[in-house]
């Protein structure tokens, strides 16, 4: 059955959240663990394009994409068709018991589209955290080393290992330790907050990180360096130019596996198929998830054949990894990205949003920085020059949510507003959403 078409216009018919959403929220409080949060408790009835419709009949502009998952749009017709057809044939066999062709096809596609023309292998998994954890497993197995290098402001997941890799304590790590050992954190190239200015950030941050690795860990002990080419939860921090290439070269020279965590940045989100493409960085391993399957749970590790094949038989896998319906959805999603040139569309979205947001920065002192690429854009809100202002973010989000715009916060200091619209959103909705954001900033 084809998905019902969702009208691409904002519509507010009740307060946000409305009475039906509030009633479900009451039920939730006695059924769902309190540790599970929601940014905006409007309960969704359907979604498509750049719109999310709730159970009260409100239609909200979607600047979240389920945290960079629905890149091709919610309930994309080709994704729905392929997944439904697969569900009608079989739902599960476990690839490790009775394999199926779609798993192989997804791996072939990933091997083709990820950076680099070397021989590759892939493994399919369930979540971004699982992908990062398996990348570390592969690196340790292939190198015989144990140490893992990560960076300030990083976010890599909620499993025990990936919590250890993650920089931000609250809410991700508080009370959940002890964490895995042999994890070493290095300074991040954060242009807006680099002490000597953004023009010096790339080379200075790379030199500082390499120096600390050599002194504190020993390059010969490092199995993997794991980094987001643009940091997600850390605040959409785009590393200063030259930082990633310098780290990649250091890894090559010292036998360290360079792991790109492209869970949030992958699949056309940043205006390239992968964010590493921007500076021509070729990772040894790349972890992907989120935008891979149009909303169905799927993740992967793709990398150099000699690394991936170094793991003993049975060392990689999982019961649900590469679920057949998710594989079908991924194949459809990748077809949409390529046939509709969604990388080009992401660049168009970025140009429109950055132009508007930079005009906001010129008018509103609270906007300290505007950054990002493609449809992965953020503003950092500050007071007194560069002091992080999380309360301003909270006020802006309250206003935008009440007016029917789905927005997310981010950042180590909680002072970043991140924007992740679906790549199929229209310019009219984009501008309307930015108008609402402008109202919120003007009202501070």
Residue 347: CA count within 13 A, CB half-sphere = 9
Torsional class of 385: left (φ above 0), alpha (ψ -120 to 50), beta (otherwise): left
User: Nearest-CA neighbor of 406 among 16, 6, 14?
Assistant: 16
**pLDDT value at 1 more than 90:** no
For the stretch 20-51, pLDDT in tens is 999 999 999 999 999 999 999 999 999 999 99
Average pLDDT for 325-338: 98
* Residue percentage of the chain with pLDDT more than 70: 99
φ, ψ of residue 373 in degrees (nearest 5): -140, 150
Region 393-420: what's the mean pLDDT? 98
Biggest alpha carbon–alpha carbon distance for the chain: 62
Average pLDDT over the chain, rounded to an integer: 97
Phi (first) and psi of residue 240, to 5 degrees: -60, 150
Report the pLDDT averaged over residues 356-377: 98
Residue 180 near residue 160 (C-beta atoms within 8 A): yes
What is the number of residues in the chain?
A: 444
Angle between helices 342-363 and 427-442 (to 10 degrees): 20
Residue 2 in this model has a pLDDT that exceeds 90? no
Instruction: Give 4's pLDDT tier (boundaries 50, 70, 90).
Output: low
Does the pLDDT value for residue 122 go beyond 70?
A: yes
What are the Cα distances from residue 430, in Å, to 49, 73, 372, 405? Answer: 11, 14, 16, 10
pLDDT at 385: 87
pLDDT at 316 (0 to 100): 97
Q: What is the mean pLDDT of residues 397-411?
A: 98
Beta bridge partners of 60: 52
pLDDT digits (tens, 9 = 90+) for 189-238: 999 999 999 999 999 999 999 999 999 999 999 999 999 999 999 999 99
pLDDT in tens, 295-324: 999 999 999 999 999 999 999 999 999 999
Torsion of CA 112, 292, 321, 91, to 10 degrees: -110
Digit-coded pLDDT (tens) for 246-277: 999 999 999 999 999 999 999 999 999 999 99
**Predicted model pTM:** 0.96
% of the chain residues with pLDDT over 90 = 98
pLDDT for 3: 59
């Amino acid at each position: 059955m084809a998905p019902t078409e969702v009208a691409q216009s904002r519509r507010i018919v009740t307060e946000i959240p409305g009475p039906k959403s509030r009633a479900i929220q009451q039920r939730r409080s006695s059924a769902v663990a309190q540790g599970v949060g929601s940014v905006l408790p409007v309960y969704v009835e359907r979604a498509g394009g750049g719109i999310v419709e709730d159970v009260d009949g409100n239609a909200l502009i979607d600047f979240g994409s389920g945290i960079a998952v629905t890149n091709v749009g919610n309930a994309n017709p080709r994704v729905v068709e392929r997944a439904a057809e697969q569900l009608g044939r079989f739902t599960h066999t476990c690839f490790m018991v009775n394999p199926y062709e779609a798993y192989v096809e997804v791996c072939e596609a990933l091997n083709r589209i990820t950076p680099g023309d070397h021989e590759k292998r892939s493994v399919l998994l369930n979540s971004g955290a699982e992908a990062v954890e398996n990348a570390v497993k592969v690196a340790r197995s292939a190198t015989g080393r144990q140490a893992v290098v990560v960076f300030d402001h990083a976010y890599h997941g909620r499993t025990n290992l990936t919590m250890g890799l993650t920089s931000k304590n609250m809410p991700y790590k508080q009370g959940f330790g002890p964490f895995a050992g042999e994890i070493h954190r290095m300074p991040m190239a954060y242009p807006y907050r680099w002490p000597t200015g953004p023009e010096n950030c790339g080379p200075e941050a790379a030199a500082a990180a390499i120096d600390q690795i050599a002194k504190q860990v020993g390059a010969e002990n490092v199995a993997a360096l794991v980094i987001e080419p643009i940091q997600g939860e850390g605040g959409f921090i785009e590393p200063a130019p030259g930082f990633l290439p310098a780290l990649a070269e250091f890894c090559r020279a010292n036998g360290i596996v360079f792991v790109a965590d492209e869970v949030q940045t992958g699949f056309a989100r940043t205006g390239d198929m992968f964010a590493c493409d921007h500076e021509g960085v070729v990772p040894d391993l790349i972890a992907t998830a989120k935008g891979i399957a149009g909303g169905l749970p799927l993740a992967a590790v793709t990398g150099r054949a000699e690394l991936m094949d170094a793991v003993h038989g049975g060392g990689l896998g999982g019961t649900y990894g590469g679920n057949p319906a998710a594989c079908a959805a991924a194949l459809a999603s990748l077809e949409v990205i390529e046939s509709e040139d969604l990388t080009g569309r992401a660049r168009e979205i970025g140009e429109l949003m950055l132009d508007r947001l930079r005009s906001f920065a010129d008018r509103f002192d609270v906007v300290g920085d505007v950054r990002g690429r493609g449809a992965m854009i953020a503003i950092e809100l500050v007071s007194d020059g560069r002091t992080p202002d999380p309360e301003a973010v909270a006020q802006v989000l309250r206003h935008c949510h009440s007016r029917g715009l789905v927005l997310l916060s981010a950042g180590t200091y909680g002072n970043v507003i991140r924007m992740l619209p679906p790549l199929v959103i229209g310019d009219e909705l984009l501008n309307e959403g930015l108008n609402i954001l402008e109202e919120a900033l003007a009202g501070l």
